[in-house]
Amino acid sequence: MFNIPTHSFYMMIFVVILLVTGSLIRWRLQVKNPQTDYLELKQRIQSWWWMIGILFGILLAPTTISIIFFALLSFLALKEFFSIMPTRQADRRILLWAYLAIPLQYYWVASNWYGMFLIFIPIYVFLFLPMRAVFIGETKGFIRSLGTIHWAVMLSVLCVSHIAYLLQLPVKNEQAGALGLVLFLIFITQFNDVCQYIWGKTLGKHKIIPKVSPKKTWEGFIGGVITVTLISGFVAPYLTPLTMVQGFVAGTLIAISGFVGDVVISSVKRDLAIKDSGTLIPGHGGLLDRIDSLIYTAPLFFHFLYYLHY
C-alpha cells in the first residue's frame, strides 16, 4: 500500500492502534468519572495524534521533505534552548550564525556527505562561533556564553540530525525500508519513556537523583531497561538490519541513554527554575520536553547501527 515497505506499514498500523486504545481508555475514564477533569490527559493524547500524524506523513513523503522537516525540528529545538538559556545582548549575532548552521548541517545530510555531516558542528562551527564573538569584542561573560551556545547547537542540531541521516543509509532490510530505522528509534525511545513512567508509578520507591528529578526511581529505571531491552530484541530484526541479540543491546542502549537525555534536560530546567521549556505542544510542554530522550538516543543508536552494519 502506498509503496510503503510492509514491515514499516504494519508498525505504523500498530502505533495507530495504540493511539486509538489510548483515546478509548480516556473516553471511558471520562464517562465513568464525569466530575474529574481530564483536560491534561485529553490534550496529551490529542497532541500525540498530531505528532504521530505529522511524523508518518513526513516519513512517507520524499526523503528531501523528511530532511527539511528534521531541520525545522532542529530549528525549533535550538530556538527553545536560546530562549530559556542565559545569553548576552552582545550574543545576538552569534546566535544568528548558530541558526545558520542548521541549513548547512542538513544540506550535508541531504547530499549524503557523511564526513562533513560528522565534523561540521564539532569542528567548524565549534571554532567559528568564538572567532565571530571575538570580533564583537565583548569579553565579559564570554566563556559562559560560548559554552552555552555550542552546547545547545550540539544537542539540538548535531544530535537531532542523526535521525535524518538514518534515512540516507543504504537500505539493508528491504521489508522495512529506510523509514524502518526511524520508526524503530522513535518508537523504542518513546516506549522507554512510557515504561519507565509506568514501572516507576507502580513499584517506584528508591529515588535515583532526587535533586534533579524527584519522581525518577531505581524501580522505574530498571523495569524500563528490562522491558525495553526485551521488546527491542524482538522488534529490531523486523524493522532494522540488526539481529535479535544486537537488538537486545540496542534496546539497553536506548533505555539507558533515553533516561540520561531526560534528566539532562530536567537539570537545565531546574537550573532555570522553570517547569517546561515552552508551550509548543499542548499537554506536553515545549519541544525539548518531548524530544529530550531522543536527543541522546538518536546519535548513540545511529553509531551503534553504523558500526555493526555499514
Partner 1 sequence: MNRFLKILFFALLVKPMVLLGLGLNVFFKAKLPKQGPAIVVANHNSHLDTLVLMSLYPLSQIHKIRPVAAADYFLKNKLLAWFSLNIIGIIPMQRKHIRDTSVLFAQCHRALDDGDILLLFPEGSRGKPEQLSDLKRGVHHLIKSRETLKVVPVMMHGLGKALPKGEMIFVPFNCDVVVGDAIPFNSDAKCYIDSVSDALTLLLTLCMTRQSVVKDDLE
Please, what is the minimum distance in Å from the beta carbon of residue 58 to partner 1?
A: 17
Residue 135 identity (one-letter amino acid): F
User: Which listed residue (25, 123, 245, 272) binds partner 1 by CB under 8 A?
Assistant: 272
Please, what is the minimum distance in Å from the beta carbon of residue 75 to partner 1?
A: 8
User: Which listed residue (76, 146, 160, 183) binds partner 1 by CB under 8 A?
Assistant: 76
**Structure letter (DSSP) for residue 113:** -
The span from the CA of 220 to the CA of 204, in Å, is: 6
105 touches partner 1 (CB under 8 A): no
279 touches partner 1 (CB under 8 A): yes
Closest to 185 measured CA to CA, from 79, 300, 89, 92: 300
Confirm if 218 and 283 have CB atoms less than 8 A apart: no
283 touches partner 1 (CB under 8 A): no
203 touches partner 1 (CB under 8 A): no
Residues 139-178: x/- map of binding to partner 1 (CB under 8 A)? -xx---x---------------------------------
SS3 at position 221: helix
Please, what is the minimum distance in Å from the beta carbon of residue 90 to partner 1?
A: 5
83 touches partner 1 (CB under 8 A): yes
Residues 6+ apart with CB under 8 A from 301: 185, 250, 253, 254
CA angle, residues 113, 114, 120, in degrees to nearest 5: 85
The span from the CA of 151 to the CA of 149, in Å, is: 5
HEC string for 64-76: HHHHHHHHHHHHH
138 touches partner 1 (CB under 8 A): yes
92 touches partner 1 (CB under 8 A): yes
281 touches partner 1 (CB under 8 A): no
Q: Give the residues across from 217 on adjacent strands.
A: 207
User: Which listed residue (277, 284, 290, 294) binds partner 1 by CB under 8 A?
Assistant: 277
State the residues that interact with partner 1 by CB under 8 A: 75-76, 79-80, 82-90, 92-93, 95-96, 99, 138, 140-141, 145, 272-274, 276-280
